Chains A and B, each alone.
Chain A
């Protein structure tokens, strides 16, 4: 049963991914990305990472993806351009990524990972992650908060300047 659910989530993750990469309609690509991100959130939950799963849904889908869709909608005026580059470039890119994919798959399947012999039941993670964030990883955590603030201010500044420039 678990394997079935697991495989369903993998399919939900991977298939829309091809649309993201190959679709000739940017709106379709954006919505495919939405499904992919949902699938990944599901995989996180299957991995016992409940907190990350929820964060994935809230931040990625609720925040980042909505931003992207907004971006798509706000830049669709004017002439429609081909979404991707010409064929020769595509072939080159496909070869490149193909080689990297083969290398990655080999590493993934052939390596001897120090895997735990018995998998424990997943425990609730929120409290433990909170401890880590405010303990061991306090400084990265604070730096990340400063980064987010800087990004916020920077984003506003960039857009404002361009508006004022008009």
Chain B
């Protein structure tokens, strides 16, 4: 593939969809987390790619895209910390991290 915007978009689409597939098919809670990381990375890659390739203009600062990626990374860090805390806490209570086993919320 050539060094151009669509190539990056294709890569990020692949990342996004593989992440989504992982999220949908894993029974292991940590596996789901990994899928989420892939999805977030796909989005981040998109932002950076646009900030590189789009036409610069007076009104917008293209570096904003990179700033958004930074925020995504920050949010991901927070998310993983809390999610892993929940997973560990569940593990210590239920002795498993299989999401199929967690159905106490069933209506």
Are the CB atoms of A20 and B27 closer together than 8 Å? Answer: no
Q: Which residues of the partner chain A approach B13 to less than 8 Å between Cβ atoms?
A: 101, 104-105, 108
Selected from A64, A100, A132, A156, the residue in CB contact (under 8 A) with B64 is A132
Residue of B nearest to A69 (CB): B30
Are the CB atoms of A85 and B8 closer together than 8 Å? Answer: no
A48-74 with Cβ < 8 A to chain B: 48-49, 51-52, 55-56, 59-60, 63-64, 67-68, 70-72, 74
> Is residue A17 contacting chain B, with contact meaning CB distance below 8 A?
yes
With A33-B37, A44-B48 already in contact, the answer to whether A155 and B63 are too (CB < 8 A) is no
Q: Which residues of the partner chain A approach B24 to less than 8 Å between Cβ atoms?
A: 89, 93, 96-97
- Total interface residues in chain B, CB < 8 Å: 76
Q: Which residues of the partner chain B approach A162 to less than 8 Å between Cβ atoms?
A: 88-89, 92-93
Selected from B25, B34, B56, B78, the residue in CB contact (under 8 A) with A151 is B78
Selected from B5, B85, B91, B93, the residue in CB contact (under 8 A) with A75 is B91
B1-56 with Cβ < 8 A to chain A: 1-11, 13-22, 24-28, 30-31, 33-35, 37-38, 41, 44-45, 48-49, 51-56
